[in-house]
Amino acid sequence: MPVNIFIATVATLVIGVLPAWAGPLHQAAKDGDIARVTQLLDQGSDLSELDEAGEPALIIASLAGHADVVVLLLDRGADIEIRNKGGLTALHAAAYAGKLEVVKRLVAEGADVNDRKNFYQMSPLHGAAEEGRTDVVAFLLTKSADVEATERNGYTPLTQAGWRAHWDTAKLLMEAGAVCQKAELVGEPLYKECTKRQ
């Protein structure tokens, strides 16, 4: 079964605090405190700085769904392709977290919907499918997201959705042309359930 790649970061956001080693800009981005983010940027905070978990402010804001902070960071020169220590981008984070407004903004600003240049070789569509973010999946499909892209273990977004029993999401992927992967790769139970729904 695929590994939940954002679990540690998501956990910190869910409980509402970042670790003590988070820098002021990272904390303000997580909080969605646009006034504080603006102040810190005016004081010269480095947009490319990673916190000790390897996350830049743009990815933290995207994962938390703070579209206004994302826009500000981009307007102030944040690299839309900045990556965390695993090579994932802000679009991966927003897609995984189901933050549709942020996903739309990042795509409008030029984020690559088929980016797989990361340790996991996963696309934003993989992340959205794994978490059953049906609205994000639907949007990414309108932007030519590759339904047959495979991550490092050879799994497609459809397989990611199926393993987590997100069958509404899987249906969208199938309607876009995704096909069930072979039983030898995904296992007989998932293959049977997937082909039954194909």
CATH number of 7-111: 1.25.40.20, 1.10.3720.10, 3.20.20.140, 3.90.230.10? 1.25.40.20
* Cα–Cα distance, 180 to 105 (Å, whole number): 31
The answer to whether residue 124 scores a pLDDT higher than 80 is yes
Structure tokens at 60: 């933290």
Average pLDDT value for residue range 98-112: 98
Q: Which two tokens stand for residue 105?
A: 């903004």
Percent of the chain with pLDDT over 90: 85
Q: Which SS3 state, helix, strand or coil, does residue 66 take? A: coil
Residue 27 makes CB contacts below 8 A (sequence gap 6+) with 18
- Predicted TM-score of the model (pTM): 0.90
Q: How far is CA 115 from the centre of its chain?
A: 11
For the segment 65-80, the average pLDDT, to the nearest whole number, is 97
d(CA 171, CA 158): 9
Largest CA distance in the chain: 58
Average per-residue pLDDT in the chain?
Answer: 90
Nearest to 115 by CA among 143, 92, 139, 140: 92
Range 104-121 average pLDDT: 97
Tell me, what's the pLDDT at 53? 85
pLDDT > 90? residue 41? yes
Tell me the domain boundaries of the chain: 7-111
The residue type at 147: V
106 contacts 81 by C-beta, under 8 angstroms: no
CA atoms of 143 and 20, how far apart (whole Å): 38
Is pLDDT of 16 > 60? no
Contact 16, 64 (CB under 8 A): no
Cα Rg of the chain, angstroms: 17
Residue 196's CB is within 10 A of a number of other CB atoms, namely 8
